[in-house]
Amino acid sequence: MGEHYHTASPNINLSTHILDITNFLEFEDLTNVILVGHSYGGMVITGVADQSDRIGKLVYLDAIVPEHGENAFSLINGLEQDFSTKADANGMVPPWPPERYGVTDPSDIAWMATRLTPLPILTHREKLNAPKMKAKMLPRYFVHCTQFNLGGQFAKKIRREGAAVFELNSGHDAMIIEPKKLASILNTISSS
């Protein structure tokens, strides 16, 4: 699999990721931030929006769109079973191969393989603590990667709630598969 740049700890959970981003925004004194969350990252950006007033827009990149009190397992059928089966004794889930996300270019696959790390199962088990759901008060956008089966249900949900939805003919990891097309969509969102 190659050498990893860092390792994750089994005690890292959703709250850890929310706190990391919230603190980064504070420490860097950033304002009117366009926060993009990919996949599970939709859980994180929704939580950050509840904790920080530094967000201008939220972009869900083929991501989970949660409500307060939900966890990733409750929103994606079969994921808990899959993670529980694959997790080691410490609760670390090995990464899926890049091909599962629609990445086909051999150089991209090789690049990803050296950077993929196990994921703590607690990130998906912990329920989102966002009682104010301030995310819904911000301009929200969704980029649906149509070649992957995750985003469809969340694209429909967020569109019903008034968000703009962009479709991208790509696998799940659009930032690797279709970076120019994704950048164009993000530029459109930035200037809207």
Q: Which helix (H) or strand (E) holds 44?
A: helix 41-51
107's CB contacts (< 8 A; 6+ apart) are none
Can you give the pLDDT at residue 6? Answer: 52
DSSP 2: -
Domains: count for the chain = 1
Write down the pLDDT at residue 7.
Answer: 62
| In-domain check, residue 4 | no
pLDDT value for 3: 44
Look at residue 117 and tell me if it is in a domain.
Answer: yes
Give me the chain's average pLDDT, please. Answer: 95
Residue 2 lies in a domain: no
How far is residue 31's CA from residue 36's CA, in Å, rounded to a whole number? 14
- Looking at residue 179, what is its pLDDT? 98
Assign residue 182 the CATH number of its domain. Answer: 3.40.50.1820
Phi, psi angle pair for 46, to nearest 5°: -65, -40
Say if 147 falls within a structural domain: yes
Give the domain extent around 122: 14-191
Confidence at 2, pLDDT banded by 50, 70, 90 = very low
Spell out where the chain has E strands: 33-38, 55-61, 92-93, 119-120, 140-145, 164-168
Nearest-angstrom CA–CA distance, 157 and 73: 17
Whether residue 92 lies inside any domain: the answer is yes
- In DSSP notation, 98-132 reads GGGGT---HHHHHHHHTT---EETHHHHSPP--TT
Asked if residue 68 has pLDDT above 50, the reply is yes
In angstroms, what CA-CA distances link 189 with 9, 82, 135, 163, 179?
34, 34, 16, 11, 15
pLDDT of residue 166: 98
pLDDT digits (tens, 9 = 90+) for 96-151: 999 999 999 999 999 999 999 999 999 999 999 999 999 999 999 999 999 998 88
Global pTM? 0.94
Q: Is residue 17 predicted with pLDDT exceeding 70?
A: yes
In-domain check, residue 6: no
Residue 135 inside a domain? The answer is: yes
Cβ proximity of 190 and 59 under 8 Å: no
Task: Report in angstroms the alpha-carbon separations of 175 from 7, 85, 107.
Answer: 22, 29, 14
pLDDT over threshold 80, residue 8? no
- Helical packing angle, 41-51 and 14-27, nearest 10°: 50
72-96 pLDDT, tens per residue? Answer: 999 999 999 999 999 999 999 999 9
Q: Is residue 7 part of a domain?
A: no
pLDDT at 4: 43
pLDDT score of 149:
86
